[in-house]
Amino acid sequence: MIILASASSTRRRLLKAACIEFQAEPAFIDEDEIKRSLEAEQLSCRDIADCLAESKSTAVSRQYPGFLVLGADQILENEKMIVNKCSTEEMAFEQLKTLSGKSHKLHTAMVICKDGSPIWRHVTTSTLWMRELSDQFLSWYCSKAGETLTNSVGCYAIEGLGRHLFWKIDGDETAIQGLHMFPLMDFLRRHQEIPV
């Protein structure tokens, strides 16, 4: 059994679908403060995702000696800037307008710690091309998307209604959802957490 350092329902769903035995234990870290500090150090968006995943994994790993603890994070990068989660439907509408007709990058980082130290890490960068979105479409989308608007970076869940936003993606869909499952399962097989 592994420990998932996350409260994400999507990450839990991905692990369950792969029959990976886990216990979810959210990491209580100040993500915004860590992100601000790393931005001040001028780290790349990719490296910020990696550091946040490590912070989550390390924090929870200290509570579970001997267990493999998986931390994950995603950073959406648009024009070399971090795009943060929105707190309101109005903010989501404006953010989607900004992303409309452009490509953006989604950095998905995973770090596994054991006894408080990182033993494995993987970062995947996906590129997503958003189609031109009319105000009429955005109003419809925002009215239907519900909690996805404020729970997901980029205001979309690619596995659902978010598919309507894009005309092309370059990347693994599980990575876009929050965990790049193929490299993760490879690591877990090598550590006898799932059958070979």
For residue 184, give the nearest of 106, 75, 111, 76 by alpha carbon: 111
Residue 111 neighbours by CB under 8 Å, 6+ apart: 50, 53, 54, 56, 57, 58, 70, 71, 72, 118, 120, 121
- Residue 147, judged by CB atoms within 10 A of its CB (0-12, 13-18, 19+), counts as exposed
Annotated catalytic sites, by residue? 73
DSSP bridge pairs for 22: 2
